[in-house]
Amino acid sequence: MDVQSEPSEIARGFQFPTAYTILFFLIVVVALGTWLIPPGSYDRVANEEIGKEVPVPGTYHSVDANPQGIVDVFMAPIAGFYNPDTYEASAIDVALFVLIIGGFLGVVTRTGAIDIGIERSMVKMEGREKWMIPILMALFAAGGTSYGMAEESLAFYSLLIPVMMAAGYDAVVAVAIILLGAGIGTLGSTINPFATVIASNAAGIPFTDGIVSRLVILVGGWLTCVLYVMRYAAKVKADPSISLVYDKRAEIEAQFAKKTLQNNPDGPSGELTGRMKAVLVIFAVTFVVMIWGVSTQDWWMARMSALFIAASILVGIVAGLGEKVFTDAFVDGARDLLGVALVIGIARGIVVIMDAGNITDTILNAGESTLSGLSPTAFINMMFGIEFGLSFFVPSSSGLAVLTMPIMAPLADFTGVARDLVVTAYQSANGLVNLFNPTFAVVMGALAIGRVPYQRWLRFVLPLVIILAVLIMAILSAAVALG
């Protein structure tokens, strides 16, 4: 089975517009809005804490109209990256960082350290298979919270599914370990550059703000998912007939027995060598250094990008990849995230149109009027609900961050809610939806590889989604109360 082809086949079946189409359509809609929505502006004052100018509540006033035309629509994605008149950077630094970190991940993946590390861990767990569930979910959650592990997780399904089935479980358990593991990590992102960092940048705050509440969500969500999956796995092992894919077991076993034999004719593909262990250490230390640099040395996108270039070279040298293999791996990794970089520019183009058409503050004023009577607790939970709904249409965490944070974050200033809680509400909502979102290629690709029908996945995951939603809203409410 070709892992790369599965998501595209499913996507053709659903025929749902991609994030690019949705975002460009929104640019057109917003441009039309500049002809219809009354233009206006707030007075602004400098906020020394976040180093940005923020709108002053109650100072909204009308300004001259500047409706945006067809030329402005096509210029918007370009202006989303940089101002074509002043050459001032807008999202180009973020997009470049995304490409470079993609190259870093490509180099690390090429060494095989992550694949072999997981494979050897599973071999050592023989006879204690149930403990593979929390351990592997913790590993995938670490990938989700650190760098937003998503598309790259598709490579692990063909490795894990036959192992889980041999242990007496089913394909749903294997899919859940990876999809929910990485998903809960993204939902509880701490240093994820594609969610937390981009959203915090758009909100005008350091990405380390609010990390405590995100850690609580991460740990609480991981524990909830582990207990949920282990409970289902135990039931399947005791009575295989209750499996949600019991009628497909023979088909799945035949498919993955063939694939496992092709990939690993002599058993596990190799040992975790000293070089691979060193690569994993470098991988972890790189993110630690990034946190240190941002939190204590005023690093931002340029220096973080330089860090990941240096780390990529170090990984290549330690792993002995050679110049050509290293450059190919780096370029391939960057290419894999090119779509993310483009989404950032297109999404920022929506804000460009809104700002140029003088309607951004009008929308803020409407939001201020609507939310002004709400308590901080009601405000943050409503924000969570809004981001939850928008995530169905813009599943990209980076695209949704750039689209919504410039609007949502200033609204928090009017209600006395910290901006970092708005970022937390956004990433939690987006991560929660992407555990089952049919517009998210990772979900549909994972289910296709595991031969798990979408409606059966919904039967499995929706009760968990409700539990997680209640947990997240409780944590957000508590964070507001604690101030």
| Average pLDDT of the chain to the nearest whole number | 83
With respect to residue 60, please indicate whether it lies within any of the assigned structural domains. no
Q: What is the pLDDT of residue 406?
A: 82
What the block records as the tokens of 229 is 């999956």
Q: What is the pLDDT of residue 431?
A: 94
The dihedral built from the CA positions of residue 367, 373, 376 and 377, taken in this order, carries a sign that is negative
Task: Specify the higher pLDDT residue, 294 or 165.
Answer: 165
User: H or E segment at 44?
Assistant: strand 44-47
With respect to residue 48, please indicate whether it lies within any of the assigned structural domains. no
- Give percent of the chain above pLDDT 90: 41
Q: Which amino acid is at 462?
A: L
Out of 30-34, 167-171, 428-432, pick the least confident. Answer: 167-171
C-alpha to C-alpha distance for 150 and 184, rounded to whole angstroms: 11
Residue that is written with structure tokens 């799945």 in the block: 252
Q: What is the pLDDT of residue 331?
A: 95
Q: Which neighbouring-strand residues pair with 41?
A: 61
Q: Which amino acid is at 233?
A: A
Quickly count helices (H) and strands (E) in the chain. 21, 4
Cβ-based neighbours of 114, under 8 Å, separated by 6 or more: 108, 280
Q: What is the pLDDT of residue 88?
A: 63
Task: Specify the higher pLDDT residue, 444 or 274.
Answer: 274
Please answer whether residues 365 and 40 qualify as being in contact, where contact means their C-beta atoms are separated by less than 8 angstroms.
yes
What the block records as the tokens of 371 is 């939310």
**pLDDT tens per residue across span 387-443:** 898 887 777 788 788 778 888 888 888 888 999 999 999 999 999 999 998 767 788
Other CB atoms within 10 Å distance of the CB of residue 96: 18
Residue 211, pLDDT above cutoff 70: yes
Residue 8, pLDDT above cutoff 50: no
Residue 483, pLDDT above cutoff 70: yes
Domain count within the chain:
1
- Domain, as residue range, for 232: 1-34+70-79+88-483
Q: Which of 110-119, 258-267, 445-454 has the highest mean pLDDT?
A: 445-454
Out of 146-160, 273-287, 378-392, pick the least confident. Answer: 146-160
With respect to residue 390, please indicate whether it lies within any of the assigned structural domains. yes
Across residues 215-228, what is the average pLDDT? 97
Task: Specify the higher pLDDT residue, 84 or 209.
Answer: 209
Q: How confident is the model at residue 295 (pLDDT cuts 50, 70, 90)?
A: low
C-alpha to C-alpha distance for 253 and 167, rounded to whole angstroms: 12
**pLDDT tens per residue across span 326-343:** 999 999 989 877 887 887
- Give percent of the chain above pLDDT 70: 85
Q: How confident is the model at residue 300 (pLDDT cuts 50, 70, 90)?
A: confident
Residue 264, pLDDT above cutoff 80: no
Residue 59, pLDDT above cutoff 50: yes
Q: What is the pLDDT of residue 256?
A: 59
With respect to residue 15, please indicate whether it lies within any of the assigned structural domains. yes
Nearest to 352 by CA among 146, 83, 32: 83
Burial 258-270 (b: 16+ CB within 10 A, else e): ebbeeeeeeeeee
With respect to residue 41, please indicate whether it lies within any of the assigned structural domains. no
Q: What is the pLDDT of residue 4?
A: 37
Residue 65, pLDDT above cutoff 50: yes
End-to-end CA separation in angstroms for the chain: 51
Supply φ then ψ for residue 164, to 5 degrees.
-65, -40
Cβ-based neighbours of 37, under 8 Å, separated by 6 or more: 357, 359, 362, 363
With respect to residue 55, please indicate whether it lies within any of the assigned structural domains. no
Q: How confident is the model at residue 6 (pLDDT cuts 50, 70, 90)?
A: very low
Task: Specify the higher pLDDT residue, 236 or 6.
Answer: 236
Q: What is the pLDDT of residue 405?
A: 84
With respect to residue 45, please indicate whether it lies within any of the assigned structural domains. no
Supply φ then ψ for residue 53, to 5 degrees.
-85, 135
Residue 50, pLDDT above cutoff 70: no
Across residues 122-149, what is the average pLDDT? 83
C-alpha to C-alpha distance for 336 and 171, rounded to whole angstroms: 27
With respect to residue 56, please indicate whether it lies within any of the assigned structural domains. no
Nearest to 430 by CA among 464, 385, 376: 385
Q: How confident is the model at residue 146 (pLDDT cuts 50, 70, 90)?
A: confident
Across residues 250-276, what is the average pLDDT? 60
Q: How confident is the model at residue 474 (pLDDT cuts 50, 70, 90)?
A: very high
**pLDDT tens per residue across span 340-362:** 788 778 878 888 898 899 988 88
Q: What is the pLDDT of residue 86?
A: 61
Q: Which of 11-15, 43-47, 134-138 has the highest mean pLDDT?
A: 134-138
Q: What is the pLDDT of residue 123?
A: 67
Residue 14, pLDDT above cutoff 50: no
C-alpha to C-alpha distance for 170 and 327, rounded to whole angstroms: 39
> Could you tell me where the DSSP H helices lie in 297-438?
301-319, 323-336, 338-356, 360-371, 376-391, 397-415, 419-433
C-alpha to C-alpha distance for 401 and 396, rounded to whole angstroms: 8
Other CB atoms within 10 Å distance of the CB of residue 365: 22
